[in-house]
Amino acid sequence: MKDYTLVVIGAGPGGYVAAHRAARLGAKVAVVENRQAGGTCLNRGCVPTKALLHASGLYREALDGAQCGVEASGLRFDPAAAFARKEAVVSKLRGGVETMLKSAKVDLLSGTGTILAPGKVKVQLEGEERVMTCDHILAATGSVPARPPIPGLELPGVMTSDELLAGTAHLPSSIVIIGGGVIGVEFATFYNDLGVCVTVLEGLDRLLPNLDRELGQSLGMLLKKRGCAVQTGAMVERVEQTAQGLCVFYTQKGKPGQAVGEMVLCAIGRKPYTENLLAPGLELAQERGRLLVDASFQTSVPGIYAIGDVSSRVQLAHVASAQGVYCVEKLYGAEPTVDLSVVPGCVYTRPEIASVGLSEQEAKAAGIAVKTGKGLTSANARSVIAGADRGFLKLVARADTGAIIGAHLMCDRATDMISELSQAIADARTAQDLLHIIRPHPTFEEALHDALAALAGK
């Protein structure tokens, strides 16, 4: 008799959600994790970053409170306290994950899992080695920060997001952020809120290059307005320690440039984590380190599956969770309960950014004739009350049917509003369909009405 029905390697948002769902479907499940339950998202990514952004946002609101009659004297930001609260939040949520798995009778094993062969996993526990047999194996080992071969990235004071989130003794006076993607702009927001001199270097022509062009361009202008130096089209060549601090050398339109900071954050993306995952001699089809899977998330070896960052081009926690649910539901005969075709993404800058579906540029590149509708938040009562920066909501719809195929928001509460638009895309709803809904006043979401009305008017 086999030890388990399913062995999951990795207890991140893909692994623990898949394990819980499989157990509820009647499988006997074990999860192997060599660090903490919750994976990167909970311990070294989404959650701790947002906890710090919440703290810096409160500080910035207090500093700017005089216009609302709130004046603070002696205000200061305590990094140690902020990082301690971040740890408390993470610890509480990690405990919730462990309790959830325990309640579903999932065995959580602390150790490194290695796939020996289909149906066989070795677990390196403290002081002992255990080999488990099972019907299916699910790899959900996630990703780690990428370190490109740039000279100087090994210098003291040059960090990845993992190292930065572990905590620093003090706030730097200045920081250079290499990479203008999601990680880079969120940390730029955090440090800018706290008065740190921030420089962002992005190799492509705008920030957030994977999102709608207008989002990245607008965010770049806002960060510059707040005092950040934003250099796009900047290709980093090396980092050197100088008397003035860490100096990042780059070229921009063929001309040399330099950016100096007390600290440097390397935030150019993440790569699939497969270290010790496969035993010598066991090969799974890969592409640039990413495990290749079919529509059911099975790898090139039958019985071995992979979800999340280790196999997906879209590295998002909620995507990993959705893939995990879909995979085990298919595996154990249940009708899939999640639609994997509509994937929202969120960026926790100030204001927030959220996007789902196709951008106007992507639709045109795919040969889809589209129309767009845009609403500004400058006349939205709740935004004016909050003193929010100028934002917008942009919708993209098919020109022939009017079905909404994309939504791109840059405004307060954008991350909370995007799900309605994700549902609209999944259901092929039109602007007129959504205009039937009465939205309460005054709310941030009320601004969506203007974008819908603009789209319906076309």
List, by residue number, the catalytic residues.
441
User: Cα separation of 16 and 103, whole Å?
Assistant: 12
Nearby residues of 360 by Cβ (< 8 Å), 6 or more positions away: 212, 213, 370, 372, 394, 396, 406
* Whole-angstrom distance, CA of residue 313 vs CA of residue 333: 26
Interatomic CA distance for residues 64 and 72, integer angstroms: 9
Distance between CA atoms of 307 and 297, rounded to whole angstroms?
7
Which residue from 201, 195, 185 is spatially nearest to 260, judged by alpha carbons?
201
Of residues 104, 129, 116, the one with CA closest to residue 30: 104
- The two three-digit tokens of residue 289, written as one number: 């380190």
Residue 417, amino acid: M
- Which helix or strand (DSSP H or E) is residue 320 part of? helix 317-331
Q: In the numeric block, which tokens belong to residue 2?
A: 């086999």
Distance CA 40, CA 59 (A): 26
The whole-angstrom separation of Cα 407 and Cα 418 is 8
248 pairs with which residues across the strands? 239, 259
Residue type (1 letter), 75: L
Joined tokens for residue 338: 């999640």
Which candidate, 13, 20, 53, 19, places its Cα nearest to that of 36?
Answer: 13
**What is d(CA 201, CA 239) in angstroms, rounded to the nearest whole number?**
13
Check: CB of residue 16 under 8 Å from CB of residue 100. yes
For 355, the token pair is: 């996007």
Both tokens of residue 161? 């997001």
- DSSP conformation letters of 349-370: SSS-EEEEE--HHHHHHTT--E
Tokens (6 digits) for 6: 């399913």
